[in-house]
Amino acid sequence: MQVLNTESALRMHLADRGRSGSVGFVPTMGALHQGHISLIKRSKAENSLTVCSIFVNPSQFNDPRDFERYPRQHEADTAMLENAGCDILFSPSAETVYPGPDTHTYRLGPVAERLEGRFRPGHFNGVASVVKRFLEMIRPDRAYFGLKDYQQYLVVRHLTEEYKIQTEIIGCETVRDPDGLAMSSRNKLLSPTDRRKALELFKSLSAAKDAVKRGEKSGLKSIGENYFIGSEKPRLEYFEIADGETLKPIGDGDISRIAHPVALVAAHVNGVRLIDNMALR
Ligand code: PAF
């Protein structure tokens, strides 16, 4: 695996891609887990060259403390990528990613304004900024995003359509621990007690999905929210039922007419903000 830090080194290595076939890209902020590795494996299966980036992007953190405490483990990440057979690890400095001030406002559509967009102002603009920059530097044929960040996946899809970026955006299933907790870099910040509490996110989503399986069509938001009542529970930011294409929330309303209803949740466990989601059909 080549470890590259500069745009010129990256361009040099990618220069003869025409001869070597397609390029797959997995953008990350490091603190890698098996969810990331599943993206690398998918990219390897579908492309002749796989590039993974590690960059903890300051512009997408609306809370500076969250940026400070975001887990960083460069050596362990490098070893994991090497083992997974990644071809290029691109790990640029902030100056390489943002040679000038990062002040542009991107057109991301209504999907970016809902849910995470409401609770984390500026977050998706920061994601758009770094993803667009990486897609321009790497020009991959395909880029792989975990569906745990479902809204991010929809926003990035919108970004590539809006700015006519020729990369196919591929959403990959959330990878879960055996007890259901969605894998996330932030899980590394949880104590064993916190981790047990964090399971309420999965339980609340599963309860909404089970209700749909039993034939219930409405009241699903309340079913999920009930999992967060009590001082020992994670502090709920939102539990929402939404249209899976637009993320327009439907609250406790009837899901019958929605082709792809999805439940989405964000909650804090001992200061660590976690998100998860589940397709309801
Ligand atoms: O999902 C993430 O880890 C980040 O938001 C991403 C896509 C790497 C952009 O910084």
Nearby residues of 74 by Cβ (< 8 Å), 6 or more positions away: 30, 54, 91
Q: Is 123 a known active-site residue?
A: no
Residue-wise pLDDT for 174-232, tens only, equals 999 999 999 999 999 999 999 999 999 999 999 999 999 999 999 999 999 999 999 99
Residue 42 and residue 50: Cα distance in Å, rounded?
10
* Domain-terminating residue out of 141, 172, 203: 172
Number of structural domains the chain divides into: 2
The answer to whether residues 217 and 167 belong to one domain is: no
Structural domain of residue 134, as residue ranges?
A: 2-172
Task: Kindly state whether residues 239 and 142 are assigned to the same domain.
Answer: no
Residues lining ligand 1, judged by CB closer than 6 Å? 27-29, 57, 60, 127, 130-131, 149, 152
Residues 202 and 164 placed together within one structural domain of the fold: no
Does some domain include residue 177? Answer: no
pLDDT on residue 158:
98
Is 155 part of a structural domain of the chain?
yes
pLDDT band at residue 19 under the 50/70/90 scheme: low
Structure tokens at 54: 């590690």
Give the position of tokens 């920061």. 126
CA distance 179 to 202: 9
pLDDT surpasses 60 at 65? yes
Please tell me whether residue 115 adopts helix, strand or coil conformation: coil
Question: Do 274 and 237 fall into the same domain?
Answer: yes
| Inter-residue contact 133 to 97 (CB < 8 Å) | yes
Are residues 94 and 25 part of one domain?
Answer: yes
Are residues 132 and 214 part of one domain? no
In a domain, 180, yes or no: no
In angstroms, the CA 23 to CA 14 distance is 9
- The answer to whether residues 135 and 207 belong to one domain is no
List 241's β-bridge partners, or say none. 263
Q: Which atom of ligand 1 is nearest to the CA of 53?
A: 8
- When pLDDT is averaged across residues 95-112 and rounded to a whole number, the result is 96
- Chosen domain end from 107, 140, 172: 172
For residue 273, what is the domain's CATH number?
3.30.1300.10
At 18, is the pLDDT very low, low, confident or very high (cuts 50, 70, 90)?
A: low
Q: How do residues 129-168 score in pLDDT, each as one tens digit?
A: 999 999 999 999 999 999 999 999 999 999 999 999 999 9
Residue identifier of the C-alpha nearest atom 8 of ligand 1: 28
What pLDDT sits at residue 16?
73
Confidence of residue 20 (pLDDT cuts 50, 70, 90): confident
What is the whole-number distance in angstroms between the Cα of residue 35 and the centre of ligand 1?
Answer: 13
In our burial notation (b when 16+ CB lie closer than 10 A, e otherwise), range 80-103 reads bbeebebbbbbbbeeebbbeeebe
Q: Are residues 200 and 143 in the same domain?
A: no
pLDDT digits 0-9 by tens, 239-275: 999 999 999 999 999 999 999 999 999 999 999 999 9
Residue 237 lies in a domain: yes
Closest alpha carbon to 71 in 29, 133, 100, 24: 29
